[in-house]
Every structure is written in C-alpha cells, then in structure tokens.
Structure 1
Amino acid sequence: MRLGLVLLHLAKPKMPYRFRGKYRKVKKPSMQDLLKMKLDFEREEKNMLILRHPYLTMEQSHGHMQKEEKTTKFFQRIFESRKQEFEKETTIAQRLCHLRVTEAWD
C-alpha cells in the first residue's frame, strides 16, 4: 500500500487549476501576451470598420441574388418531385389496414 501511495505521488501531474479559485496564482502578462492582445484589438477594429462601411451600397447590391433564387427554386422543384414519387406520406391507419379484416368482431 505504501508503495502504491509513493508511485501515485510521483506520477501525480502538476495542479492544472492553479490559475483559478480562491488561492489562485495570478500570472503576470508577458510582452507576447500584450502583443497578442494588441493584434486582437486591431483585428476587431478592422472587422467593425468593414461592418460599418460595407463594400457595396444598397443600390449596387439590389438584385445580386436573383441568380441564386432561380437555382434554389429549381432545386426545390426537383426535391418536391422526388418527395412526391418516393417519399409518399402514409398514415397509421394505412399502415395498419391489414389488421382490419372484418369489422364485426363484437
């Protein structure tokens, strides 16, 4: 039993939660962390600039999805025809109709 305790103690990994909780050790930021945070802020600012000022105006973007709408309508028609041919909707009464041989069983 003592040998097991010793082996478990030696094989015990370092505490993974040392930066959380009541007795946490606060990690001081390094220059790499500060640079990474600065790059994150710059990326976020670029994204917000793109969102605030779109590439196309409303007049330029009018009608740009007409071709896509045609293709989606085409595929919807194909899917509907396949559904009508192969995926016919059946009710429970239709599935169990073979059980109703005669009605007069009273």
Structure 2
Amino acid sequence: MRVTDVLWKKLPRGHIFRGKNRLVKPVTGLDIAAKIRDFEQEEQNMFYLRYPYLTKEESFKHSKEQGRFEKWMRKWKVMQAEKFAKHKPMADHLMHLRSSDGWESY
C-alpha cells in the first residue's frame, strides 16, 4: 500500500490534463523549432496573399481568354445528358402491364 501511495503522489488529483493541479508538459527545443517553422510558413503565405502574381484585372480575364468556362460548360452538359435517361415512349414504360396478353390477339 505504501509503494502505491508513493507512486501516486507524483500525479495530480483529479483529471491529469485539466484543472488547477494538472500535468504540464515541459517545453523542449524541438517544440520551439517547430513553432518557429510554423510562423515562418504562415509569414510566407501572408506574403503571397499580400502580393499576388496577377492583378485583379488580370485574374478576372485570364480564364475567359483561355476558354475555361466554355470547356467546363460543354463537359457539364455531357455529364447531365449521361446522368439522365434517354427519352422513351410511354409504351415502353407500360410494357410490364401487358404480361397477360397472348401472342395473338383476337
């Protein structure tokens, strides 16, 4: 019993990661280096967002000049045509109702 009391004294009472008495992981040099890398990457992203490659006017017109919308619209119409069934006459839809008819009609 005394051995377990000694071992349990190292842990805080209650939940070990919340509250007043919690375990706090010590900060290491690797943690600091990782955080610095994250800040540098974020700064690089902000730089690209502040100074884009194209101006607003160029970015508005460049896809139109390449014909991207027209290509996408043609592709979309083909996909829609494939998605929906071809038109069939009503006789084809109601063919299952004629199952009791004989081969010859009188």
Q: Same fold judged by TM-score > 0.5? A: yes
When normalised by structure 2's length, the TM-score is 0.55
Q: Distance in 2 between matches of 1:45 and 1:87?
A: 57
**5+ unaligned residues in a row in structure 1: which ranges?**
1-14, 89-93, 99-106
> Which of the two has higher C-alpha Rg?
2
Number of residue pairs the alignment of both structures matches:
75
Q: % of aligned pairs identical? A: 29
Indicate whether 1:21 and 2:18 are aligned: yes
Tell me: CA distance 1:83–1:38, structure 2 relative to 1, closer, same or farther (3 Å): closer
* Structure 1 vs Structure 2 CA RMSD: 3.0
When normalised by structure 1's length, the TM-score is 0.55
Tell me: CA distance 1:19–1:37, structure 2 relative to 1, closer, same or farther (3 Å): farther
Aligned to 2:40: 42
**5+ unaligned residues in a row in structure 2: which ranges?**
1-10, 98-106
Tell me: CA distance 1:60–1:84, structure 2 relative to 1, closer, same or farther (3 Å): same
C-alpha displacement of 1:59: 2.6
Of stretches 46-55 and 60-69 in structure 1, the one that deviates more from structure 2 is: 60-69
